[in-house]
Amino acid sequence: MPTAQFQASPGSAYPPGPQGPPSGYASDAWQGQSETWQGQTGQPPSYGAPYSYQSGPPKKKSKAGWWIGGGALAVVLILVAVFVAVIALKKDNPTTTTTATGSKKNTGATKVLWNAPFTAASVAGHPILAGVWTDDKAVIRGGGDGLHAYDVNNGKELWNVPIPGAGSVCSMAPSTLNGVGALIYGAPGKYDAACDHLLAVDTATGKPLWTADLKPTDGSSTSFGGDSYTSVSMATDVVVIQTSNVMRGYRTSDGEKKWGLVLKPKDPNAFATCHPRNSLAAGDRALIVVGCNGDSGYVTALNAQTGATQWDHDLTPTEGDELFTDPISVRPAVLQSHQAGGNPQLLVLDDSTGKIARTITSVVDGLELNFRSESSRLTGAFRYPLAVRDGKLYASTVDDFGGKESKVVSIDLSTGQPTWTVGGGAKSQLQVVSIQDKDVVAYDRGGFEHTPRFVHFDLATGKRSDGVQFPNDLSESSFGRLLYVQGNRLVLVATRPSASEPPIVVAGKP
């Protein structure tokens, strides 16, 4: 049931009157638009009057000279008329394509459409991004002052959900499911100890659907080693959460608790040094990774509908340092793993036992692949430049800024071997950002040689096709931001927004 503590505020999505099924986006008059990030639109320059000169004293002209001078004047007038007509034609019909060689000139095909304004309240108590949801109508950002949904076309704020009691969002589900999003919130600045409430939201209207109190009621401790993380994700019909040493499943439709369990280290003597690292749920499975300082950890697979354990398996580092491991795919089960100061690698787990079936290092066929997270662990907004579908992993090579051609590699997770490797063009700087239909989409940051752009690779063959190009301004401003694809638009989200770094920037065709 929706809680009474969520009160409507101007511009928020709590309309008075009887409630019915969601019927689109709420709207208000608040406009989140700014000129700050507007790129060049390729308009032709303005021209002033022609230069003039002063002649000497007038001389008597012959009739022949008059004809010659008049003819010359006529030619000049004709040329001026043609010049003006060409300029007018270009102004009315600006080009919308760049040269085949990838000219750096921005020809007006795309521009920065809008950016969400920065406010002090948006970072109060929790200056780091908590998460982002996107769909075909909105970009939804979670941060210090709650949730804000913006129209993807123009940046108008559609709705907002403030967190009660000046609290903040601790973590958000990586994505929504069937129009419902879930997040964990609590008092600002205290993270684990305060992240004690779960909220489900209708992402079309911003209406809070229900809340759940996550405080322990079964005698479990509120801390599991003092360094745990909260996480929430959407499985089929169930919202799965992990906070402190507790995991629970709540029915998506009404928030009823379906199951709960207390996570304990395998070695009772290791209680003070083991704690949950992260969890991820999708479909009928949830994965939870438990890390232990110094020597080991383990991963457990649960039935997302019942909480029953399907399997668990030890994760022991090859050296004596702490193991950091995050799930990036539930089925197949794939973990990103690295030790402090070490290179990341991917662990592909056996679907029935959880044992490590194969290890994929970050260097494949002599190419260094980008397996590193783009965001802080503290936010729970884990964004890896990787994509997984139908037993294949898609990754881009590490950008060394040396002017080499960046590549996208498809890896068969059943063998650990590449199925294709395709370059993005000379001096490209690719980053895998999404899978759409039959393509994996990478963003090429561009630079001095060409404009930023989307590059599409066929999932089966790797055949490359160049997509939408973006303003040159985004070549540098895209660094340090999370990248999302929304149709043919690029969404850039700051992990630590500030007055000079807007929370959200959206670029594309008007």
Say how far apart CA 233 and CA 281 lie, in whole Å: 5
**Whole-Å CA distances, 104 to 93, 100, 236, 455:** 20, 11, 46, 16
A 10 A CB-CB count for 467 gives 17
CA angle at 131 for the pair 125 and 134, rounded to the nearest 5° = 140
> DSSP characters for 84-140?
HHHHHHHHHS------TT--S---SS-EEEEEEPP-GGGGTT--S--EEEE-SSEEE
Q: In angstroms, how far is the first alpha carbon of the chain from the final one?
A: 40
Cβ–Cβ under 8 Å, residues 441 and 435: yes
Type and span of the H or E element at 475: helix 474-477
A 10 A CB-CB count for 459 gives 21
A 10 A CB-CB count for 292 gives 22
Say how far apart CA 484 and CA 390 lie, in whole Å: 21
Residue in 208, 211, 184 with CA at minimum distance from that of residue 195: 184
Model confidence, pTM: 0.75
Residue 476: helix, strand or coil by DSSP?
Answer: helix
Cβ–Cβ under 8 Å, residues 159 and 174: no
> DSSP characters for 216-258?
--SS--S-SSS----EEEEETTEEEEEETTEEEEEETTT--EE
Enumerate domains of the chain plus CATH numbers. 385-469 (2.40.10.480)
Per-residue pLDDT of the chain (510 residues; tens, 9 = 90+): 444 355 434 344 433 333 333 333 232 222 222 222 222 223 222 222 222 223 333 444 444 443 334 444 444 444 444 443 433 333 333 322 222 223 334 445 789 999 988 876 655 555 678 889 999 999 999 887 789 999 999 999 999 998 877 677 888 999 999 999 999 988 754 444 478 899 999 999 999 999 999 887 655 544 433 345 688 999 999 999 998 778 999 999 999 999 998 877 666 665 555 677 789 999 999 999 887 665 567 899 999 999 999 999 887 655 444 566 789 999 999 998 876 566 788 999 999 999 999 999 888 888 889 888 776 544 455 678 899 999 999 999 986 655 678 999 999 999 999 999 999 988 888 999 999 889 999 999 887 778 899 999 999 999 999 999 998 888 777 777 889 998 889 999 988 888 788 889 999 988
Say how far apart CA 252 and CA 250 lie, in whole Å: 6
